[in-house]
Amino acid sequence: MKKYSLTILISCLFFFSSFAQEGMWLLDQIGDLDLNKKGLEIDVSEIYNPDQPALYNAIVQLGGGTSSFVSAQGLMLTNHHVAYTALQRASTTETDYIANGFVAREYADEIQAPGYQARLLQEMKDVTDEVLSAGKGIDDATERDKKINQKIAAMTDKLEKKSEDIDAVVAAMYNGKQYFLFVYKVFKDIRIVYAPPVSIGEYGGDIDNWMWPRHTGDFSFMRVYVSPEGNGAEYNESNVPYKPKVWLKVAKDNLKPGDFTFIIGYPGYTTRYRTSNSAAWNLKYNYPYTIKNFGAIIDLMEKITKDDHEGQLKVAGLKKGLANTMKNYQGKVDGMKKTKFVQKKREFEAVFMNWVNSTPETKAKYENILTDITAQYDIILKTKDRDNVMGTLRGLSCAQLGVAGQVYLNVKEREKPKKEQRPGFSEKTIERAIENMEYAYMRYYEPVDKAMFERSLNKVNKLPQGQRIEPLEYIFTSKSMSIHDFVNDAFETSRLDDPEYVISLYELSSKELEALNDPFINMIAALYPMMEESNLIYEEFAANVTDLRKQYIDALYEWKGSGLYPDANGTIRFTSGPVKGYSPANAVWYRPFTSLAGVLEKDTGEEPFDAPEKLIKLYENKDFGSYMDPELKDVPIAFLHQCDITGGNSGSPVLNAKGELIGCAFDGNYEAMISDWQYDAVLQRTISVDIRYVMFVTEKFGNASFVLEEMGAIR
């Protein structure tokens, strides 16, 4: 065994470590974490208690992020970048709430956040036995997976039929070793209360994204409304602010290095139990393709919307999302290469296989796990290029092709015999698609959509033999029309730029849709057999590889015992750790706090370092109010701490040892971008905006002290 094998073993078996800050734990696991010995000053039952109100009752899943109730009137604190799409959708060239910010001084002034929904957890329970019973005795992984999904759909449908504002989800933990039911109350009327301008909320832009030191006031306030009866209803002027049973209180003590912190939120997805094969696939194929593809789309959007304010507003949300993912993936690539991550994974797996082969019993059970996983990836490797381009065509070309696919595929699914429909499909699926139709057009800007569509078709046409998308060859073999001409003709003749017309198409059959001779529907209809075939391949891949990953986790349990936390999967989690800086390189130490002075140091007067004049004056006049930190002699902006988070945690409240609000999580650090794959206690940090900066900007810059009064947070 090489000298560094022990290090490899320790780093790869992160889930058996003693680091208090490691892990995105299920709420019912936190009683085993000895939190009071690590600095927590309240009882764990005050954080989570299924039988009485606790802090988790204040945590809300908001879109793709997290928020928290901070008043008795349904006021929520979240990130500016979580509220960003709402600001973009509500903006016009005259208002531009992204550039100018927004403040509502009365309830009546609060504006709708189009398309936003919030979910508040009502119940969580282990339903493993009930779910797995559906697949008992079935050896074929795909068929077993289908039966399990049908069972899950039946369970959730039964609960959702009880109320219009209930959403039920059964989530798999440890790749299907355990299943939890989560029941949520759904709120569909979300309104914007206060958001600072982007020059505060996104100060530093993509340059500073994922970086430290950070000087971003990444926060916004929104409010949840319900019907007068308390139901989660659609937007209506008669709706009233929701009254939560728990809301967070702002800390009165100043935060210091070493202080205990914890986060409750909704992290997206991690892959810490994946094998080297999955890591290598992402490093070699997935990440590089996505980085290159997204970069080209961003360049295209910037070129077309240069000096075009309306166009810039329309594509702002998409551009921001692509840039964020692109930089995140680049960080993962850099981190994997720098740490030789795949190599270390393989060396760890060699140690694992030594254990597997150590007894006849373990060898019989686990000998082929790793090679079987590799075989599954070999299957999807055959059509990798085609599938990448197909994904771009359907998801990142134009709104018309996207809605054509949505309508046609849902109608085809409705026409299937019920037992052949995909699990979870029902008329409610179509109802939701219709409800959300208008949002598909809120980023629609014809010059950009046309260019993206033409780009996608050119990518299709460049596919090599053996990877061709044969059903679309009619576009490229036409002697009368170039790709450019086809795009122009499609946009001129299609009526799919009209949301009301698109909604009416759900009343038709697939044959009637095809008879419309719409160019976008024609494309989807031609692609349908290939998409169905591809879906079957990926369904089999998902079922087989998930089953193998579950066996792999079973082996790890048997080898090293229990004590694992499940990978993040969009469900509510807990993490904790102290305020602490870090060393990104030799002889470099990053302190854990930034302050207002750093904003002026970075200020160039041009985006993304264009600090507002009023903010500069507040600093120059030392008009800090009661928000100055006694050690910094300045207003703190952001801080570092050792909590373990990932995408989806954006907007999560950060609480101190007393369970009081001290900040709002918004990022991780670039040096630890492979944290979705492996935790690193030395490098990994959460970056959070300090609640003192939130209050300072709200009161001193935004003249919105009424928000703080509602929170009971005036100092």
Per residue in 1-26, pLDDT (tens digit) is 233 333 333 344 444 344 456 899 99
Element (H, E) at 401: helix 399-415
Compute how many other C-beta atoms are within 10 angstroms of the C-beta atom of residue 166.
17
Cα–Cα distance, 338 to 330 (Å, whole number): 12
Instruction: State how beta strands 661-668 and 686-690 pair.
Output: antiparallel
pLDDT in the model for residue 561? 77
In the predicted model, what is the mean pLDDT of residues 298-309? 97
Helix (H, G, I), strand (E, B) or coil at 78: strand
Catalytic site positions: 81, 218, 650
Cα–Cα distance, 316 to 446 (Å, whole number): 15
Domain residue limits, the chain:
5-117+188-271+568-711, 288-367, 380-563
In the predicted model, what is the mean pLDDT of residues 627-636? 97
pLDDT in the model for residue 173? 96
Instruction: State how beta strands 59-62 and 189-195 pair.
Output: unpaired
Cα–Cα distance, 414 to 421 (Å, whole number): 7
| pLDDT over 70 (residue 34) | yes
Q: Residue 151, CB half-sphere, CA atoms under 13 Å: how many? A: 19
Cα–Cα distance, 39 to 259 (Å, whole number): 8
Cα–Cα distance, 631 to 258 (Å, whole number): 14
Of 523, 532, 292, nearest to 416 by C-alpha is: 532
Task: Give, in order, the Cα–Cα distances in Å from 170 to each of 12, 151, 256.
Answer: 29, 10, 40
In the predicted model, what is the mean pLDDT of residues 257-265? 98
Compute how many other C-beta atoms are within 10 angstroms of the C-beta atom of residue 187.
25
Cα–Cα distance, 429 to 544 (Å, whole number): 27
In the predicted model, what is the mean pLDDT of residues 687-706? 98
- What is the length of the chain? 715
Compute how many other C-beta atoms are within 10 angstroms of the C-beta atom of residue 90.
18
pLDDT in the model for residue 323? 97
Q: CATH assignment of 5-117+188-271+568-711?
A: 2.40.10.120
Contact between 185 and 202 under an 8 Å Cβ cutoff? The reply is: no
| Radius of gyration of the chain from its Cα atoms, rounded to whole angstroms | 26
pLDDT tens, residue by residue, 319-352: 999 999 999 999 999 999 999 999 999 999 999 9
DSSP state of 397: S
Element (H, E) at 345: helix 341-356
Residue 564 banded pLDDT, cuts 50, 70, 90? confident
pLDDT in the model for residue 12? 45
Residue 66 banded pLDDT, cuts 50, 70, 90? very high
What are the beta bridge partners of residue 689? 638, 664
In this structure, of 10-14, 575-579, 580-584, the range with the lowest mean pLDDT score is 10-14
What pTM was computed for the model? 0.94
Residues 6+ positions from 386 with CB-CB distance below 8 Å: 463, 467, 468, 469
pLDDT in the model for residue 15? 43
The values of phi and psi at residue 553, to 5°, are -65, -40
The values of phi and psi at residue 488, to 5°, are -60, -40
Contact between 264 and 55 under an 8 Å Cβ cutoff? The reply is: yes
pLDDT tens, residue by residue, 128-154: 999 999 999 999 999 999 999 999 999
In the predicted model, what is the mean pLDDT of residues 32-52? 97
Name the token pair of 403. Answer: 């809605």
In the predicted model, what is the mean pLDDT of residues 233-248? 97
Of 600, 622, 601, 624, nearest to 612 by C-alpha is: 600
Question: Tokens 């979580």 sit at which residue?
Answer: 82
Cα–Cα distance, 644 to 675 (Å, whole number): 8
Compute how many other C-beta atoms are within 10 angstroms of the C-beta atom of residue 489.
12
Instruction: Report the share of the chain in percent with pLDDT over 70.
Output: 97
Task: Give, in order, the Cα–Cα distances in Å from 22 to each of 208, 299, 376, 470, 706.
Answer: 25, 38, 31, 48, 38
pLDDT in the model for residue 171? 98
Mean pLDDT across the chain: 95
pLDDT in the model for residue 423? 83
Name the token pair of 36. Answer: 């009071």
Name the token pair of 269. Answer: 């997805």
In the predicted model, what is the mean pLDDT of residues 164-177? 96
In the predicted model, what is the mean pLDDT of residues 446-471? 97
Return the ∠ at Cα 512 (arms to 507 and 513), rounded to 5°.
80
Name the token pair of 440. Answer: 């598909």
Task: Give, in order, the Cα–Cα distances in Å from 411 to each of 420, 517, 521.
Answer: 14, 16, 12
Of 701, 407, 357, 393, nearest to 555 by C-alpha is: 357
Contact between 284 and 707 under an 8 Å Cβ cutoff? The reply is: no
Element (H, E) at 395: helix 384-395
In the predicted model, what is the mean pLDDT of residues 460-479? 96
In the predicted model, what is the mean pLDDT of residues 616-627? 97
Residues 6+ positions from 75 with CB-CB distance below 8 Å: 69, 193, 221, 222, 223, 241, 247, 707, 710, 711
Question: Tokens 């919307």 sit at which residue?
Answer: 305
